[in-house]
Structure 1
Amino acid sequence: MEQPGRAVRTRRVRNIQNSSLLLIFIICVVNYMDRGTLSVANPLIRNELGLSIAEMGVLLSAFLWPYAFTLLVAGAVVDRGKPRRVLTVSLIVWSLAQAAAGFIASYGQFLVARALLGIGEAPMFPTAARVVKDWYHEKDQALGVGIWNGAPSLGTAIAPALLTPIMLVFGWRWMFVLMGGLGIILAAVWYGVYRDFDAGTLEPMDRHYLYDGGEIPEARPVQAGAWGKLFGFRTTWGLILGFFGNVYIGWLFIAWLPGYLEMQRHMSIPKTGLVASVPFLFGLVGSIGGGFLADRLTSRGMTAIASRKLLTVIGMVAMSLATFVAAETASNLVAVASISVAIFFGFSASGTSWSLANACAPSSYAASLGAIMDFGGFIGGALAPMVTGFVVQITGSFTPALLVAGAIGLCSAAAYVLFIPAEPIPSAALAPSLA
Structure 2
Amino acid sequence: MSKPMSQSEVSITSTLAPSPAIRRSQTLALALLVVTGVINYLDRATLAVANEFIRADMGLSLGEMGVLLSAFSWSYALCQLPVGALVDKIGPRWLLGIGLVVWSLAQAAGGLVSTFGYFVIARIILGIGEAPQFPAAARVVSNWFPLRARGTPTGIYNSASPLGVALAPLCLAPLIAATSWHWAFFVTGAMGLVAAVIWVALYRDPVHAKMTPAERAYLEAGEAGEAPPKADFASWRALFRHRTTWGMMIGFFGSVYLNWVYLTWLPGYLRAERHMDLAYAGIAASIPFMCGFAGALIAGWATDRVTRNAASPVSARRNAVVVATLGMVAFTIPAALVDSNAVAVACISIVIFLANASSACAWSLATAAAPRNSIASLGAIQNFAGFLGGALAPILTGYIAQTWSFVPALLTGAAIAFVGAMSYLFLVVRPIPERHEAAA
TM bucket, shorter chain: over 0.9
> Structure 1 pair 377/234, CA: closer, same or farther in 2 (3 Å)?
same
| Partner of residue 418, structure 1 | 426
In the TM superposition, residue 215 of structure 1 has moved relative to its aligned partner by 5.8
Distance 1:4 1:231 in 2: 31
The answer to whether structure 1 residue 44 and structure 2 residue 53 are counterparts is yes
The percent of aligned pairs where both chains have the same amino acid is 43
The corresponding residue for 1:298 is: 307
SS at match of 2:15: coil
Name the CA distance, whole Å, in 1 between partners of 2:339 and 2:235.
Answer: 52
Structure 1, unpaired ranges of 5+: none
Contact kept? 2:147, 2:223, Cα under 8 Å: no
Q: What is the DSSP-based 3-state SS (H/G/I as helix, E as strand, rest coil) of the residue aligned with 2:227? A: coil
2:430 maps to 1:427: no
- Aligned counterpart, 1:361: 370
The residue number in structure 1 matching 2:242 is 233
Deviations 1:347-384 (A, max 9, x none): 11111111111100001111000000000100000000
Q: Following TM superposition, by how much is the alpha carbon of 1:304 offset from its aligned partner in structure 2, in angstroms? A: 1.1
Give a deviation string over 1:34-76, Cα, whole Å, max 9, x none. Answer: 0000000001100110101100000000111011001111101
Distance 1:52 1:184, change over 3 A: same
Indicate the residue corresponding to 1:183 in structure 2.
192
Report the equivalent of 2:16.
7
> Structure 2: how far apart are the matches of 1:388 and 1:155?
22
Secondary structure at 1:231 match in 2 = helix
Deviation (angstroms), 1:221: 3.5
* Greater CA drift, 75-84 or 255-264: 75-84
CA distance in 1 between counterparts of 2:204 and 2:410 reads 43
Amino acid at match of 1:426: P
Q: Residues of 2 paired with 1:333 and 1:343: CA distance?
A: 15
Q: Which residue of 2 aligns with 1:279?
A: 288
Structure 1 CA distance for aligned equivalents of residues 192 and 349 of structure 2: 28
**SS in structure 1 at match of 2:230:** coil
CA 1:5–1:312 in 2, change beyond 3 Å: closer, same or farther? Answer: closer
CA distance in structure 1 between the aligned counterparts of 2:249 and 2:223, rounded to whole angstroms = 32
- Measured in 2, the distance between the counterparts of 1:216 and 1:75 equals 24
Alignment pair present for 1:163 and 2:172: yes
Say if 1:60 and 1:255, in contact at 8 Å, map to a contact too.
Answer: yes
Would you say 1:244 and 2:253 are equivalent positions? yes
Q: Which residue of 2 aligns with 1:117?
A: 126
Between the aligned partners of 2:389 and 2:197, the Cα distance in structure 1 is: 33
Matches within 5 A, 1:400-411: 400-411=408-419
Q: How big is the alpha-carbon RMSD for the aligned residues of Structure 1 and Structure 2?
A: 1.6
Map of 2:406 onto structure 1: 398
Cα distance in structure 2, aligned partners of 1:285 and 1:144: 14
Count how many residue pairs are aligned between Structure 1 and Structure 2.
Answer: 429
Offset at residue 170 of structure 1 (A): 1.6
In 2: Cα distance, 1:194 partner to 1:431 partner:
34
Aligned-partner residue type, residue 406 of structure 2: F
- Out of 246, 264, 267, the residue aligned to residue 255 of structure 1 is 264
How far apart in 1 are the matches of 2:223 and 2:389?
A: 40
2: distance between equivalents of 1:7 and 1:268? 53
What secondary structure, in the 3-state scheme, does the structure 2 residue paired with 1:120 have?
helix
- Could you say which residue in structure 2 is the equivalent of 1:35? 44
Q: Counterpart of 2:15 in structure 1: which amino acid?
A: R
Is 1:73 the equivalent of 2:75? no
- Measured in 2, the distance between the counterparts of 1:79 and 1:62 equals 27
- Match of 1:370, as an amino acid? G
1:96-139 deviations in whole A, cap 9, x for unaligned? 00001111121100000000000000010000000001110111
Question: 3-state DSSP class of the match of 2:372?
Answer: coil
Distance 1:351 1:108 in 2: 34
Cα distance in 1 for partners of 2:293, 2:354 equals 10
Letter in 1 for 2:212: E
Task: Map 1:282-361 onto structure 2 (within 5 A).
Answer: 282-361=291-370
Mapped partners of 2:153, 2:193: distance in 1: 25
CA shift in 2, pair 1:251/1:5, >3 Å: closer
Q: Show the counterpart of 2:5.
A: none
Q: CA deviation at 1:310?
A: 1.1
Q: Aligned pair in 2 of structure 1 residues 359, 4: CA closer, same or farther (>3 Å)? A: closer
Alpha carbons 1:217, 1:363 under 8 Å: kept: no
1:156 and 1:214 map into 2 onto residues whose CA distance is: 36
SS at match of 2:234: helix
- Partners of 1:426 and 1:200 in 2: CA distance: 27
Partner of 1:103: helix, strand, or coil? coil
Unpaired runs of at least 5, structure 2: 1-10
Q: 1:62 aligns with which of 54, 71, 96?
A: 71
Contact persistence 1:363–1:427 (CA under 8 A):
yes
User: Aligned equivalents of 2:12 and 2:266: distance in 1?
Assistant: 41
CA shift, 1:208, in A, is: 1.6
The Cα of 1:299 is off from its aligned counterpart by 1.8
For 1:431 and 1:101, locate their aligned partners in 2 and report how far apart those are by CA, in whole Å.
48
Query: 1:12 is matched by which residue type in structure 2?
Result: A
Structure 2 length-normalised TM: 0.95
Hey, what does 1:193 align to over in structure 2? 202
Amino acid at match of 2:431: P
Contact kept? 1:3, 1:299, Cα under 8 Å: no
Distance 1:303 1:215 in 2: 15
Aligned to 1:140: 149
